[in-house]
Amino acid sequence: MTIYQNFINGEWLESSSDRTAQNVNPANTNDCLGTIKLATREEARKAVESAYNAFRDWKSTPAPTRGKIVAKFARLLEDYKEEVSQILTREEGKTLAESRGELQRSINVAEFCAGEARRLNGETIQSELPANFAYTIKEPHGVVACITPWNFPVAIPVWKIAPALVAGNTVVFKPAEATPATAVRLCEIFEEAGIPKGVLNLILGKGSEIGDEIVNHPAVKAISFTGSTETGIKLYEQGARRGAKVQCEMGGKNPVVVMEDCDMDLAVESTAQGAFGSTGQRCTATSRAVVVDKIADEFVSKIVERAKRMRIGDGADANTEMGPIVDEKQFNTVLKYIDIGREDGAEMLYGGKRAEGDGLENGYFVEPTVFDKVTPDMRIAQEEIFGPVLSVLRVKDFDDAMIAANDSQYGLTSSIFTGDPNLIFRFVQEIETGMTHINSPTTGGEAHIPFGGVKMTGIGAREQGSTALDFYTELKVVYVDYTGRKREGNLY
């Protein structure tokens, strides 16, 4: 049985801890991938110290050289794409098609960041004084903590680690407890790509222990986190107290607005993809459908039809459209929210329980679930469920749709289905989300396009795209005076 090891100062080390957790395949709990030893606080400190000691040399390595290592990582990830996709499906449960998509996204992000290493430019600025000029330099922070969730255990670490490294930071990577195998594999691939000792460190264990230790360590100058709102806000407060930079990507409650002139089949198929794809476990998942009354009956009956046809099963089976929930805790959370929806008076049209059938006996499978006549005051209209549960809110017209769509503490992504250009532009102007889609699902994104949300979803600079390195760099401003004379006037 595999025992996952920590990667500290270029060495793979087994934790001295005697507390363990099993890494179980959520499609079949009899299939155990390995054992994770829950690292101690002392081991977490060692990981930070290792990153701290490696920082000076890494910072003074030319950025294009740093980028070459990330480029090599991207090429290797391409070589290992199928192998890592298989691990991802077995560990997290998503379908193989989804895993391959996640791997491709990760390769694209790494390639993009490698290219950015040759563009780590500042600017030159005209001075108001003669024989003077100024320029800016982008510099790394030092040790950066990358704290990541289980739902995209390859792509999210890559889109944090790659820009952090290119910028010249050293990294302590703390993945979610549920997905150690992919995390270990990523670090092995970075090792093969030639990452110097201590520049990237991996530590496996509990967020409340080693995560807490890392976040509060004085040598950690920046924390990039993706996960729950509760944890993100806590880390933000903790970081702020000691002046560390914090970037958080947290919850979502992403709406799709469906107007009466829409292409109905496209709206239904895209809503189903957004709501049930990746088993609803994406931060960009569609969790609310805001539908105008006139077409609501038709939309609802078609989405229920689609949900019924969803092929549920082990993600490793090529026929499967929707895999299991990641683990027992999350499985119970999803079922609890379904109960809450019923108790709050929403009309459950389909789903609502553990999915049964051949091959589903030993996994955390839930039926795709559709609630109709959900009102904004209900918890299933407001709280992130992170499962295949769609809440349909019926509204009178576009104005009401916008009120309902924006009635959320979150603001990650959204979409609208309509052919009316006036409504499209009004929607883009009025919707309170960091990303929005027109006539396509709320999900999806590209490696070279910024990603992130507003309101309670996002704190700090946007990840990926032209903004990918913003969080990982500090700006130094340099004034150069080549007059050789004492300054006169302008003495502020």
Residues carrying an active site annotation? 249, 283
Cβ at position 179, least distance to ligand ADP in Å = 9
Please tell me the distance from the alpha carbon of residue 233 to that of residue 211, in angstroms, as a whole number: 14
The alpha carbon of 193 is separated from its chain's Cα centroid by a whole number of angstroms, namely 24
The smaller minimum CB distance to ligand ADP, of residues 67 and 149, is found at: 149
Residues numbered 94-153 forming contacts with ligand ADP, rule: CB under 6 A: 147-149
Residue 154 binds to ligand ADP (criterion: CB under 6 A): no
Interface with ligand ADP: number of residues (CB under 6 A)? 17
Q: What are phi and psi of 253, to 5 degrees?
A: -145, 65
Out of 228, 375, 382, 440, point to the residue binding ligand ADP (CB under 6 A). 228
Q: Exposed, middle or buried, 401 (CB in 10 Å: 0-12/13-18/19+)?
A: buried
Residue 458 binds to ligand ADP (criterion: CB under 6 A): no
The smaller minimum CB distance to ligand ADP, of residues 185 and 394, is found at: 185
Residue 174 binds to ligand ADP (criterion: CB under 6 A): yes
> Are 193 and 161 spatial neighbours (Cβ–Cβ below 8 Å)?
no
Q: What are phi and psi of 226, to 5 degrees?
A: -130, 130
**In which element (H, E) is residue 136 found?**
strand 132-140
| Listed ranges 4-12, 77-85, 173-181, 351-359: which one lies at the site for ligand ADP (CB under 6 A) | 173-181
The smaller minimum CB distance to ligand ADP, of residues 299 and 410, is found at: 410
> Are 248 and 232 spatial neighbours (Cβ–Cβ below 8 Å)?
yes
Residue 207 binds to ligand ADP (criterion: CB under 6 A): yes
Residue 474 binds to ligand ADP (criterion: CB under 6 A): no
The string of DSSP letters for 172-239 reads EEE--TT-HHHHHHHHHHHHHTTPPTTTEEE--S-IIIIIHHHHT-TTEEEEEEES-HHHHHHHHHHH
Residue 332 binds to ligand ADP (criterion: CB under 6 A): no
The smaller minimum CB distance to ligand ADP, of residues 146 and 258, is found at: 146
> Are 242 and 218 spatial neighbours (Cβ–Cβ below 8 Å)?
yes
The smaller minimum CB distance to ligand ADP, of residues 172 and 468, is found at: 172
Residue 211 binds to ligand ADP (criterion: CB under 6 A): yes
Using CB positions, name the residue nearest to ligand ADP. Answer: 207
Residues numbered 234-253 forming contacts with ligand ADP, rule: CB under 6 A: 234-235
The smaller minimum CB distance to ligand ADP, of residues 168 and 227, is found at: 227
Q: What are phi and psi of 115, to 5 degrees?
A: -65, -35
Cβ at position 226, least distance to ligand ADP in Å = 7
Residue 215 binds to ligand ADP (criterion: CB under 6 A): yes
Closest CA to 86 of 97, 70, 72: 97
Residue 445 binds to ligand ADP (criterion: CB under 6 A): no
At residue 285's C-alpha, the angle toward residues 232 and 214, to 5°, is 20
Please tell me the distance from the alpha carbon of residue 367 to that of residue 358, in angstroms, as a whole number: 14
Cβ at position 230, least distance to ligand ADP in Å = 7
The string of DSSP letters for 442-454 reads S----TTS-B--E
Residues numbered 362-381 forming contacts with ligand ADP, rule: CB under 6 A: none
Tokens of 266: 């496209």
Q: What are phi and psi of 97, to 5 degrees?
A: -60, -40
Residue 51 binds to ligand ADP (criterion: CB under 6 A): no
| Listed ranges 22-30, 204-212, 300-308, 446-454: which one lies at the site for ligand ADP (CB under 6 A) | 204-212
Cβ at position 217, least distance to ligand ADP in Å = 11
Residue 212 binds to ligand ADP (criterion: CB under 6 A): yes
Out of 176, 181, 349, 459, point to the residue binding ligand ADP (CB under 6 A). 176
Please tell me the distance from the alpha carbon of residue 476 to that of residue 138, in angstroms, as a whole number: 6
The smaller minimum CB distance to ligand ADP, of residues 227 and 458, is found at: 227
Alpha helices per DSSP H over 324-395 = 328-343, 379-382
Cβ at position 280, least distance to ligand ADP in Å = 13
Note the residues at the interface with ligand ADP (CB under 6 A): 147-149, 174-177, 207-208, 211-212, 215, 227-228, 231, 234-235
